Structure 1
């Protein structure tokens, strides 16, 4: 019999809003009309598998190792449920 489950572990996550403050915090710069790209200074902040280009609305997730991973809003909402 199939049952539904949700992830039990909690995470720290912040939705990227494209603001100058968040661009500075994560070491990003504008790329094209609506995109954002990591800079050389941001390489230490992000997980190895994190994408190079982001969109407004993506989620930055802090891993156990302190590195940031990134999920699209759709994938984040499908995977996680807010618990606070």
Structure 2
């Protein structure tokens, strides 16, 4: 079970806190995020379990369009190659 979520949003550190008032599933996590002028957020999150193990890492682009009252969430594919 995920007990801690932390990461970066547009290069700034952020910690998400479990919303204790959210009943049942799905769980709701809250965070204060930095403002952006263009409505685009690049977010990388790391999930930790009770033992402190990293259970998951994901990177997404979140776009908030207030004019059309629309939010989109797209995975950001990042690949790396290790050369010895």
Structure with more of its chain in helix, by fraction: 1
TM over 0.5: no
TM-score of the two chains, using structure 1 as the length reference: 0.28
- Structure having the higher strand fraction is 2
The normalised TM-score by structure 2 is 0.28
Higher RCO (C-alpha 8 Å, min separation 6): 1
